[in-house]
Amino acid sequence: MVKKQKIVVIGAGPVGSLAALYAASRGNDVEIYELRGDLRDPSTTPLNFTKSINLALSERGLNAMRHAGQPKLIDHVKAATIPMRGRMIHGKKPNGQLYEEAQDYDIHGRAILAIDRGGLNKRLLDILEEMPNVTFFFNHKLTGADFNKNKAWFEVKDGTSSGEKGQRAREIEIDFNFMIGADGAHSAVRYHLMKYTRMDYEQQYIDTLWCEFQIQPKENPEDDSLMSKFRISPNHLHIWPGKKFMFIAIPSDDGTFTCTLFAPAEFYTFLESDPSGAHIPDFFDTYFPGVTDLIPPRPIDLLLSLQPPPPPHQHQMQALPLQFLGRYRDAAHAMVPFYGQGMNAGLEDVRILFDILDKHARMDEETVDHDPASARERALDEYSRVRVQDAHAINDLALQNYVEMRASVLSLSYRFRKWLEEQLNVWLPGLGWQTKYSRVSFGNERYSEVVRKSEHQGRVLMRALTGLLFGALGGPLVAVGVVMAVRYRRAVDVGLRAAMGNVDSMVEYMTMNR
């Protein structure tokens, strides 16, 4: 166990709250500093979200909560979720008829869980509130930190909720043994840390903007059950793949769906091209058939009311080190949301961080000269080495998944590979074959390991398929080849080269479309 320390967590989002729970359950004094007011106070406006949003919670996030030392947490969290067992792809046939096609995520029926982000966050705050060694500091904005002297400064807004006009601001200074930065994509902790250590940091924006809509529940006076309220299947993540665009819908436990439109910036320029919005219904009906029936009167009115468009998605990476002299770590790496892993990866960060801290603390206990501070330094070194690779891997996977969701789900090669891999998983379990999606969403293997195994599977499959193809055609081809070799040696040479070129490009194609 790590010795009792003053651990300061910056940010009371889901990741910061779980980090505080892990730190507090190890007996440390924990202080949580949060820029906004208490999320549980109805007058607090969420920072980035106008209303609470739905997220896909999967195994990594659940596993991190399972190890938080709060047996009831998982049951409570799960009780407020809706299982989504697959994607529901929406489209239009050439004859104009609308269709839905279900694609299960997993051949064993495992599901990811739709959860209200605010609800999960509140539950974690409620548990922390009951712990005597945890103190909250809401309306406290980190404005500076000195990682040599272990001091930090906060701007404090006195008042009931953040952002209220007329609030007076004052500054306070605190000290700490260890600071955990979980203050989101624009992390202030990271910004200050970068002044103290040589830390590579990379940020890229992708050309995609997003905005949210709601599908309201059905009114049914004769049936008050939850299931009767959903306008489309509640057990799927709904996708309208538009190739360059994508519209998705995730169920909530009040019968609504939170929908997100992802589209490139030029789309928003197109929207603004006619202030009347008269051109937009056609656009929706072409790319997202059926959506205009679900969001009455027209999603268009909502879209036009969004001024300015929401910020583009960020794609951020960090390189070593994630720590400075064992006093800080950063859970604030951002990623695009297309694998539904942002929060899951952040929660997993917490579990892995504390596993490694515990391991080094135990090793330190066994030594004659205890030195918890340098044990923590070694732990954070290891954490950085391990986790940075995985952060890069999930960033790449999330970017690739955007292509999969908006386009590949319609392609035959994608569906064939998924089917084949699932059959191998069921009929030859000894091979340990799994789809990439299952490894990411239903397992806890390192993300970098998922990438490695999936690439390996892609190569093996391609070789096997190529072998089968040549095996079937082998006899006739050899006979023709011998005759040609005798008569037209040069033609054979050219023919073989062309054939090999095709195999290479097929291999490349299959590897890219994993």
Locate tokens 């006739």: which residue?
476
| Interface positions, 71-90, toward ligand FAD (CB under 6 A) | none
Separation CA 469–CA 429 (nearest Å): 25
Record the tokens describing residue 373, joined without a space: 């501070």
Q: Does 260 bind ligand FAD (CB under 6 A)?
A: yes
Question: Judged by CB under 6 A, which stretch of 10-18, 195-203, 426-434, 435-443 contacts ligand FAD?
Answer: 10-18
| Interface positions, 323-362, toward ligand FAD (CB under 6 A) | 331, 337, 340-344, 346
**Mask: binding to ligand FAD, 96-125, rule CB under 6 A, as x and -?**
------------------------------
Separation CA 447–CA 404 (nearest Å): 18
Q: Does 14 bind ligand FAD (CB under 6 A)?
A: yes
Residues 6+ apart with CB under 8 A from 81: 57, 113, 114, 115, 253
Q: How far is the CB of 134 from ligand FAD (least distance, A)?
A: 16
Q: Residue 381, Cβ neighbours under 10 Å: how many? A: 17
| Interface positions, 42-61, toward ligand FAD (CB under 6 A) | 47, 55-56
| Interface positions, 172-231, toward ligand FAD (CB under 6 A) | 182-184, 188, 210
Separation CA 37–CA 154 (nearest Å): 14
Contact 157, 44 (CB under 8 A): no
Q: Which is nearer to ligand FAD, 57 or 451 (CB)?
A: 57
Contact 291, 299 (CB under 8 A): yes
Contact 253, 120 (CB under 8 A): no
Helix or strand run (H / E) with residue 388: helix 372-406
**Residue choice 35, 303, 380, 405 for contact with ligand FAD (CB under 6 A):** 35
Q: Which is nearer to ligand FAD, 191 or 270 (CB)?
A: 191
| Interface positions, 142-171, toward ligand FAD (CB under 6 A) | 142
Q: Which is nearer to ligand FAD, 180 or 357 (CB)?
A: 180
What residue number has its CB nearest to ligand FAD? Answer: 13
Q: How far is the CB of 344 from ligand FAD (least distance, A)?
A: 4
By three-state DSSP, how is residue 30 classified? strand
| Interface positions, 272-331, toward ligand FAD (CB under 6 A) | 331
**Residue choice 7, 9, 11, 398 for contact with ligand FAD (CB under 6 A):** 11
By three-state DSSP, how is residue 67 classified? coil
For residues 71-101, one letter each, b for 16 or more C-beta atoms within 10 angstroms of the residue's C-beta and e for the rest, the string is: eebeeebeeebbebbbbbbbbbeeeeeeeee
Record the tokens describing residue 66, joined without a space: 């399972």
Q: How far is the CB of 471 from ligand FAD (least distance, A)?
A: 43
Omega before residue 234 within 30° of 0, cis: no
Binding-site residue total for ligand FAD (CB under 6 A)? 30
Contact 116, 52 (CB under 8 A): yes
Q: Which is nearer to ligand FAD, 17 or 425 (CB)?
A: 17
Question: Which residues in this chain contact ligand FAD in the complex, by CB under 6 A?
Answer: 10-16, 33-36, 47, 55-56, 141-142, 182-184, 188, 210, 260, 331, 337, 340-344, 346
